[in-house]
């Protein structure tokens, strides 16, 4: 998606440790207008699909998921990274490694909000090794719900998580796929269509 | 705001330990349509104010903030609860106690995204003792920015945080103020106008 790619090139910074800093518009300061445009784009790409719910994980996925859900007229469910007193004990859980935080979290959702037969679209800000996406897919599988697809704003294509999902037959839509960030130069994968 | 109060009465649950469980529409499963209506209401109440940015804190404030920001045509900045590798070291920080998680976090924002003279609206899902709101106000003060007001979806009026802010001259808008939850009965404070 050209609008996002332009933002990445204009405002993104490649830091050491394979970190792409896009906190000026995606996951700290949020460019709400841009994310709504991205949501509209996602809706167009999944216009032939029934989406009952969007599933994401706190915190960076929430903005993109909510601004997209408006086009699908569906609710968002965000997986939590820790248990709080206002969540029931009846949860689905899955382990997820976070490379930017250097931690492993057991993400969780209340069973009452993820139901058998529901059609669920997974969304997140980044798709790299696919840790978060696979955790979310595990939650959906545990619930007996259906995976509509996996959407990421930015995919680090060279880390393989997205292609591994595609190889498994999952419909993956990444709005910007980065094939290389060597020497700080961001090289995007050409769009499929 | 009647729509939110109805949702609280219909779907909220009062749990032991003074916990109001509203994770069916506000802070786990998100009723995007409801939150957008709430955002429209907030915009109407602050229509005479210049809002350059909405400041919230991860994770539960993000959805409400983003769906509201669309009406103000402004970006959202969400304070983080921990440092990650994609955030610069140049941050404003403030300590915040979370009673639902039983922890104290040093919330932080990158200095580059909160600037002197900006007009900032603070938003969150809950306002109880005012811990999070005061932390966010501290970040704004450190930056030399201006506080437009503090918005909460639900205020636990009997915990005093909102009234303490009002006494300091801060414009506080809570869409539903709860004056009592004794014996599981939710009693709302009458609307001011």
Query: Does any CB of chain B come closer than 8 Å to the CB of residue A16?
Result: no
Q: Which two tokens stand for residue A113?
A: 């909000």
Find chain A residues with C-beta within 8 A of B70's C-beta. Answer: 32-33, 36, 67
* CA distance linking residue B132 with residue B99, whole number of Å: 10
Binary contact (B66, A101; C-beta < 8 A): no
Q: Residue B140 belongs to what H/E stretch?
A: helix B131-143
User: Nearest Cα to A139, choosing from A122, A154, A155?
Assistant: A122
Domain boundaries, given as residue ranges, for chain A: 2-188
Among A110, A115, A89, A118, smallest CA distance to B24 is for A110
Q: Measured between alpha carbons, how far is A58 from A47 in angstroms, rounded to an integer?
A: 26
Q: Which helix (H) or strand (E) holds B65?
A: helix B62-72
Class of domain B2-188: alpha beta
β-bridge pairing B119-127 and B146-156: parallel
> What is the pLDDT tens value at each position of chain B, 193 positions in all?
999 999 999 999 999 888 999 999 999 999 999 999 999 999 999 999 999 999 999 999 999 999 999 999 999 999 999 877 667 789 999 999 877 777 888 999 999 999 999 999 999 999 999 999 999 999 999 999 999 999 999 999 999 999 999 999 999 999 999 999 999 999 999 987 6
Start-to-end Cα distance in chain B: 10
The tokens describing B32, both together, are 């995007």
Are A85 and B15 a contacting pair at CB < 8 A? yes
Q: Report residue B98 as tokens.
A: 């979370």
Q: Do the Cβ atoms of A62 and B63 come within 8 Å?
A: yes
Residue B93 near residue B111 (C-beta atoms within 8 A): no
């Amino acid at each position: 998606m050209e609008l996002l790619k332009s933002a990445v090139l204009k405002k993104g910074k490649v830091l050491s440790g394979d970190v792409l800093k896009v906190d000026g518009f995606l996951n700290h300061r949020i460019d709400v207008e841009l994310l709504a445009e991205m949501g509209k784009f996602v809706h167009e790409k999944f216009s032939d699909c029934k989406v009952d719910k969007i599933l994401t994980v706190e915190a960076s996925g929430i903005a993109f998921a909510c601004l997209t859900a408006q086009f699908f007229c569906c609710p968002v469910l965000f997986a939590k990274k820790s248990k709080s007193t206002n969540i029931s004990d009846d949860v689905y859980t899955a382990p997820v490694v976070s490379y930017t935080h250097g931690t492993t979290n057991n993400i969780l959702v209340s069973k009452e909000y993820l139901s058998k037969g529901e059609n669920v679209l997974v969304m997140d800000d980044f798709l790299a090794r696919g840790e978060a996406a696979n955790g979310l897919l595990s939650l959906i599988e545990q619930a007996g719900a259906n995976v509509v697809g996996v959407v990421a704003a930015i995919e680090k294509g060279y880390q393989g998580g997205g292609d591994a999902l595609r190889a498994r037959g999952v419909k993956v839509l990444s709005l910007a796929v980065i094939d290389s960030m060597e020497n700080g130069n961001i090289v995007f994968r050409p769009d499929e269509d």
